[in-house]
Structure 1
């Protein structure tokens, strides 16, 4: 019979753990201005979010931590009425500050279809979902 290492037994539950940080319906409407372009936007406040960046002596994946911080910032900014966020600095010890802005709607132009009429004129119709 094999003996299990106590360290392995302690790490197995952590490997199966899901952190459960999800983008909510409000956060889905918030964009991230990675290029910092918030010209013409109204500042609505600042949010500081945090996640665990290490579990015991083990550091968590830095990219995963950054992703989770962005998701939390988008969710929190939506509660302020913001539609855009911009990072104010890099993550430090699992925490990151973000500025929240209201810039107006950032939607793509609706797709259209053109139809040629018998008389040579053209009509444009939006494509419905």
Structure 2
């Protein structure tokens, strides 16, 4: 697990994909019939995937973070997003590239945190 929080991942995704977190939290059950809704939903799905990969957050925590209903269909949909992540990203090369860049930022933040922690441990 990473030393990076769900909030930090959401902020990184919002910045890189230029989708405000408030919009990610606002997109509902609409399947995304227009490009803007799909773009916002894609950004939220990227947060879900990266949070699952890099934090200890449970699915319920991710759902609550976005202010979504904790009902079974929401849980199943986000679980499907995680299960299908690789295929989905392979079909979206620009998005896959953005995800790689965000993961590099996550890794760098994690490494900085570990280095800082190690310095504190040595000083004690």
TM-score band, normalised by the shorter chain? under 0.3
TM-score, length basis structure 1: 0.26
TM-score, length basis structure 2: 0.26
Q: Relative to total residues, which structure has the larger strand share, 1 or 2?
A: 1
Greater Rg over alpha carbons, structure: 1
Q: Relative to total residues, which structure has the larger helix share, 1 or 2?
A: 2
Which structure would you say has the larger RCO, counting Cα contacts within 8 Å and 6 or more residues apart?
2
